[in-house]
Every structure is written in structure tokens, then in C-alpha cells.
Amino acid sequence: MLELRSKKHLMDNTTKSSTKIKKKKLYSKYFRENLEYMLMVAPGFILTFIFSYIPMFGIIVAFKNIDYKKGIFGSPWVGFENFKFLFQFPDVKIIVRNTIGYNLVFIVLGIIVPVTFAIILNQIRNKLASKFYQTVMFLPYFLSWIIVSYIVYAFLAFDLGLVNRTILAPLGIQPIEWYGKPEYWPFIIVFLHMWKTTGYSSVVYLAAITGIDHELYEAAAIDGATKRQQTFYITIPSISTIIIIMLILAIGKILSADFGLFFNVPLEQGRLLPVTNVIDTFVFRALRINGDIAMSSAAGLLKSVIGFFLVMVTNKIVKRYDDSKALY
Amino acid sequence: MKDTKTTSKFNQISSVTNAIYHLIFMVVTICCLYPVLLVIGISFTEEDSLKTFGYSVIPKVVSFESYTYVLRNAATILKAYKVTIFVTIVGTMLSVAGTALYAYAISRKEFRYRKFFTFFKFFTMLFSGGLVPWYLVCTRLLRINDTIWALILPPLISAWNVIIMKTFFATTVPDSIVESARIDGASEFTTFIRIVCPISLPGLATIGLFVTLSYWNDYWTPLMLTSKPNLANIQLYLYNILKNIQMLQDTTNVISQQASGEAIKRLPQEGARMAICVLAIGPIIFAYPFFQKYFIQGLTIGAVKG
């Protein structure tokens, strides 16, 4: 992909020099054009500035003791007091463990499963069936986490739930109080994450696979390469760029979490918190339920800074090994 | 795709492997399809038979009482539905327009500051100020909380969509067309609306779909920024019902146990809840198969680096 891009750049440069004379003639229009382009980016620029950049400067609230009466600028500076306060909070270790732990599992499975599925979908002989599977796999992606919460509740409710009632009862197993048993939830959460995202990622990888030149496979087949060898020596290396880009982006989000999955699906049950509390739900609870700006802003800032740092480092490492596969 | 036929003798997998693959995807299909069918099934099942026989996809006793319940409570549900539809339509139109304009400008090589504006947007994907400053900007600076704009404006221009759209313009709009329009004296805006937009319809449709979906399914923004019940969209309405279920589940909490008797009375019954879910899933899910082509196309464009 990058090769293509650099080729295009070369072409751009050559055309640029040849059209240089033409451009000089149009110089009076040059300024007007740029003005028009500026007007085009204006709405997006303003909104991005307000909703993304002002909050970036707003990270100073993490170092302040916010008093609404005095305003953000009038509130006194407290240095790293908020962070100290945050780390004294007893659950912090568990929260960080949960966030990173789940994300690591998500990253590993989120590459292995969709790539495998994409390879299989590409090899299935019946193309119509392959299309059908893609469509169906995409379905969960369209459901909001609220709807998913209702579905999960239909499965796991104590008295009427499908699992207790229809599956466990005929087997003579006592009904399980799912919403009170933290030991099951890591599996439920990982399953739901995969259930919701696999279709989407599989299609991304499948699109990359269908873009691979068929002659490569033909040549390999003539040389006697087995199907498995073709997969490992042609398919996977060919889509490694997109895999690595997805990986870098995922690593940058290692401290984030799908809010709905961790907050709504477990029905905010206190007993499940040891396995469902992650940084995002913690920040939300601190801000919206306890109104604790100090702790939530400190946690939010740490999350952003570490996430940013991780993207930079991963990108650097990738760049060192293979420049063309880096994100930027 | 045509190529696969001629080369298939090289690429053919054995029948056994093929069968195993199909088997795997049968299971996946059931996993993805069954829950949705279950919701629909429950919504058409009579309430008493739900209690005696449990849930199943095919109703033991078919009944439309869930939907008549929805109709009886139409006022609140309809209000939520209206909020969702209004926000989705207005939000999608504004978002597609804003995203396309931004993306088109930064895709043009003549635009002198395109690098700056590209980075300006891209950087927001790498770093954010976090939830609290964002919340303070919305509530203290703009004071848009508890207004309809709180649901529309914050997610309006997504960096990811801008980059998808930029790549789309850069790869599908031929320079010669834009150049000739310019020589004919058309302004950039005229060129964009008259020439670029018509040939970029597939790209616009793709991000339109992404945006529609995210507005339709958004409960997080209203949860953060609104507290007025008349601004609750259908997702938030469902969330509020879920809150009551949650209290029933939390048997450790004494106060909630006392309150739960009250909550049960106010709670729509199982079937009715699922009927509201069906209404909330409805439009998106039924439209999806028709738009799948665009969706996949969008993902493919997104996969190319911007």
C-alpha cells in the first residue's frame, strides 16, 4: 500500500513541475482557491477545536482543585495531589489489571480469530455461502450495547433466563445466579467482545486478502506449495501491513474500554465489579455518580498520556523493523 | 472474482476441509443470528406462556399484547423515537456535509495548508484530553447540556470518517475533471457540489451509513449530557428500563430491595421490553443487507492508509 503511495508521490512531483507554468498563470486564483478551501474546512475545524483541542488544554483540571464558583482558571493549583489521591484509592490496582488484561486478550484474539475467519471465508468454494456468512457475522456489530444487555439478560436471568431454564434445568443442574458470580464474567465479556467485533474485523482482513494478486498463488501452486504453505507464505505476509496498523491502533487504546460492555451488560452489579471495573467505567462513576472531578480527571489524563506514549513507542518499534508498515 | 474461476484448480481446497469450514461458520451463524431471533420471538410470545415455558425463538402462544402495550404507552416511547429519528437525520446530514467538505479540501493538492489540517484531525485519534475536560467544555463552556445539540454536535466530525473520505476523494476523483472545471471558471464550491459529490456518492453513502448507525445507537452522549426525560432517545429510554432490572438483580442492596416492589410495577413486562428492543433495532437491521455493499466498500477504503 505504501509502495503505491510513494509511486503516486513521484508521479505527483513530475506532474507538478510540468504544470508549474500553468499554475503561475492561475496565480490570481490561487489565493481565492485557498480561501475557499479554508471555508470548507472551517466547520470541521471549529468543531474539532472545541470538542477535541480545548479539552486537551483542559487537562490542567487534573492539577487543580476545581471549585465551580471560582471557575477553572480561578481554582487553586494542587500539583500532583489528585494523582496521589487516585493511587491511594484501593481499587486502582484491580482496575488497571482489568483494563490491560482484557485488552491484551482482545488484541491477541482480535487478530487471530478474524484473520483465520477471513482466510477461511476466502477459501470456501461456495462464494454465495461466503457472502451469507459475512452478512450474518456483521449483524452483532449493528446492535447497541443496550440491546446486547437485554439479550444477555434474556440468556442469564436467574428465573426465566434461557441458560438456567432451557439448558441447565433439563440437565438437572441447579440454576446459577449469573449476575452475582464474578468467576464467569471474564469469559462472558471476552465472548461478547469477540461476538460483536469479529464480523467487522474479518471483513476488513478479507478485503485485504481479496486484493492479493492471484498470480502469486498460481505460481506457488505450480511450485507445489500446499494450501497451508500458501496461507503462511503468501496470504499472511501480504496482509501484515493492515494487521500491524490495527495492532498499533489497538495498543494505543489499551487503557480504553468499550464502555457499554463493561458498564451496561453486567447491569452495573456491585458484586461483579472486581472483574468488570475498568478505567473508563471508573472515570464515569467518579464523574457522573460521585461528582468527583479531581480523581476522574487525574485518571483520564493518565489514560490519555500513557495511550499516546504507547502508540508512539509501538510505531517507533515497527518503524525500526519495517518502515513501510508504520502508522505514520 | 472472475479470476477465481480460471485459477480455481490451483486454489481449490479439499472437500473435507470445505465441509469443516462450512461447519465452523454454521456455528458462527447460529451464534450471531439466534440472539436477534430470540428477541423477536419473545416479543411475540404471550406473557404467561413466557413464565411457564421460558424463552424460545418460536412462541408457544403467539400474542401481540407486547406491541399493544407499546401502543398504549405510545406517548413516551414515541417521544423517544422522535428524538432518535430527529438526531439521526439532522446529525447524519450535518456530519456527512461537514466531513465531506473537510475531507475534500485536505484531499486537494492545491490546498496549501492541507498537511496542517490533515494532521490537525489525525492527531485527535492519537491523543485526547479525556472525559472530564470534554465534559466541562460541553457543560460549562458551551452549556449545550440538556439541549438537543448535545446529542448532535459532539460526535459530528469523526477523524476516522474524515480519513476514509479523504482517501476516497484522493483515489476516485480524477484531477483532470477538477482542473477542467477550474479552467472553465467554476469556484471550488461549485466544483465540489456539481461535479465531485455526484461521482463520490458511494463514498458519501458509506460514511452516511457509519454516521447513521452511530447516532442511532448512541446512548452514551445523552447519558453524559442530558438529564431531561424529553431528550431521552430510544436507547436511553431502554437504558432507563434496564436500570430498574438492575435494581431487582442487586439483592445485596437493602434499599433497592424495598424499592424493587415499586420498580416491578413500573417495569414493562418481558415481552414488552423486547418489543421496544425490536423497535430500536428495527430500521437499522432491516436496512443493512441492502447497504452491505457500501459498508464493506467503506471498510476497504478505510483499510488503505490516508
Q: Which residue carries 499516546 as its cell?
A: A308
Is residue B236 situated within a structural domain? no
Helices (H) and strands (E) in chain A, counts: 18, 0
Same domain? B190 vs B288: yes
Domain span including residue B34: 14-63
Summary mean pLDDT of chain A? 82
Cell matching residue B43: 416479543
pLDDT of residue A29: 61
d(C-alpha A40, C-alpha B195), whole Å: 16
Go through chain A and tell me how many residues it has: 328
User: Which member of B124, B270, B305 has the closest CB to residue A52?
Assistant: B124
Q: What is the nearest CA distance from A185 to chain B, expressed in angstroms? A: 15
- Please state the φ and ψ torsions of residue B70, each to the nearest 5 degrees: -60, -40
Is residue A216 situated within a structural domain? yes
Burial of A7 per CB tally in 10 Å (0-12, 13-18, 19+): exposed
Is residue B277 situated within a structural domain? yes
pLDDT band for A61, please (50, 70, 90 cuts). confident
Same domain? A90 vs A57: no
pLDDT tens track, chain B, 306 positions? 444 444 445 556 778 888 888 999 999 999 999 998 888 888 888 877 777 777 878 887 788 878 887 777 778 888 888 899 999 999 999 999 999 999 999 998 888 888 999 999 988 888 888 888 898 889 888 888 889 998 999 989 998 889 888 888 888 888 888 888 888 888 888 889 988 998 888 888 888 888 988 999 998 899 889 888 888 888 998 888 888 777 766 655 555 555 555 555 556 677 788 888 888 887 777 767 667 777 666 666 655 543
| Host H or E run for residue A100 | helix A92-123
Same domain? B111 vs B194: yes
User: Mean pLDDT lowest for which of A79-83, A297-301, B8-12?
Assistant: B8-12
User: Which member of A47, A245, A297 has the closest CB to residue B156?
Assistant: A47
Q: Comparing C-alpha atoms, which of A18, A188, A11, A219 is closest to residue A105? A: A188
Cell matching residue A75: 481554582
Q: Comparing C-alpha atoms, which of B153, B188, B195 is closest to residue B172? A: B195
- Please state the φ and ψ torsions of residue B145, each to the nearest 5 degrees: -65, 150
Report the domain count for chain A: 2
pLDDT of residue B264: 58
Is residue A4 situated within a structural domain? no
What is the rounded average pLDDT of the residues A283-298?
82
Is residue A9 situated within a structural domain? no
Cβ contact B38–A162 (<8 Å): yes
Cβ within 8 Å of A, B 57-96: none
3-state secondary structure of B45: strand
What residues contact residue A120 under an 8 Å CB cut-off, 6+ apart?
B21, B24, B25
* Inter-residue contact A77 to A63 (CB < 8 Å): yes
Is residue B128 situated within a structural domain? yes
Same domain? B36 vs B165: no
Q: What are the chain A neighbours of B239 within 8 Å (beta carbons)?
A: 146, 264
A120 — alpha (psi -120 to 50), left (phi > 0) or beta? Answer: alpha
Same domain? A104 vs A73: no
Buried b (16+ CB within 10 A) or exposed e, B4-31: eeeeeebbeeeeeebeebbeebeebbeb
Q: Mutation test of the interface with chain A: which of B8, B88, B95, B128, choosing the one with the most A Cβ atoms within 10 A?
A: B128
Residue type, A113: V
Q: What is the nearest CA distance from B130 to chain A, expressed in angstroms? A: 5
Same domain? B279 vs B178: yes
Cell matching residue A243: 494487521
What is the rounded average pLDDT of the residues A104-120?
93
Q: What is the nearest CA distance from B5 to chain A, expressed in angstroms? A: 10
d(C-alpha A217, C-alpha B221), whole Å: 48
pLDDT of residue B215: 92
pLDDT tens-place string over residues A83-104: 887 888 788 888 989 999 999 9
Terminal Cα-to-Cα distance of chain B (whole angstroms): 26
Domain span including residue A47: 21-79
d(C-alpha A238, C-alpha A235), whole Å: 5
Q: What are the chain B neighbours of A180 within 8 Å (beta carbons)?
A: 249, 251
Is residue A39 situated within a structural domain? yes
Q: Does B304 touch chain A (CB under 8 A)?
A: yes
Cell matching residue B280: 430500536
pLDDT of residue B189: 86
Same domain? B223 vs B160: yes
Q: What is the nearest CA distance from A151 to chain B, expressed in angstroms? A: 6
Same domain? A154 vs A274: yes
pLDDT of residue A220: 87
pLDDT of residue B4: 44
Q: What are the chain A neighbours of B216 within 8 Å (beta carbons)?
A: 144
The answer on pLDDT for A46 being more than 60 is yes
Same domain? B179 vs B290: yes
The ipTM, to two decimals, is 0.82
CA angle A137, A141, A144 (to 5 degrees): 145
CATH of the domain at B109: 1.10.3720.10
Cα–Cα separations (whole angstroms), residue B304 to A233, A236, A246, B120, B170? 22, 17, 12, 19, 11
User: Which member of B132, B252, B273 has the closest CB to residue A297?
Assistant: B132
Q: Does B180 touch chain A (CB under 8 A)?
A: no
Q: What are the chain A neighbours of B242 within 8 Å (beta carbons)?
A: 146, 149-150, 153, 264, 267
Same domain? A36 vs A165: no
Cβ contact B130–A59 (<8 Å): yes
3-state secondary structure of B278: helix
Q: What is the nearest CA distance from B242 to chain A, expressed in angstroms? A: 8
Cβ contact B303–A204 (<8 Å): yes
pLDDT of residue A5: 46
pLDDT of residue B98: 95
Report the domain count for chain B: 2
Q: Choose the final residue of a domain: A36, A52, A79.
A: A79
Cell matching residue A85: 489521591
Alpha carbons within 13 angstroms on the beta-carbon side of residue A56 total 15
Cβ contact B25–A143 (<8 Å): no
Is residue A8 situated within a structural domain? no
Whole-prediction pTM: 0.83
Instruction: Please list the residues that pair with B62 across neighbouring strands.
Output: B45
Is residue B7 situated within a structural domain? no
Cα–Cα separations (whole angstroms), residue A93 to A86, A180, A250? 11, 22, 22
Q: What is the nearest CA distance from A301 to chain B, expressed in angstroms? A: 6
- Please state the φ and ψ torsions of residue A64, each to the nearest 5 degrees: -125, 160
Is residue A10 situated within a structural domain? no
User: Which member of B110, B285, B304 has the closest CB to residue A33?
Assistant: B110
Same domain? A191 vs A132: yes
Same domain? B219 vs B289: yes
Cβ contact B114–A133 (<8 Å): no
Same domain? A106 vs A62: no
The answer on pLDDT for A6 being more than 80 is no
Contacts 24+ apart (CB under 8 A), A111-115: A111/A243, A111/A246, A111/A247, A113/A194, A113/A198, A114/A197, A114/A198, A114/A201, A114/A202, A114/A204, A114/A205, A115/A205, A115/A236, A115/A239, A115/A243
d(C-alpha A21, C-alpha B244), whole Å: 71
Same domain? A317 vs A282: yes
Same domain? A223 vs A120: yes
d(C-alpha A269, C-alpha A262), whole Å: 10
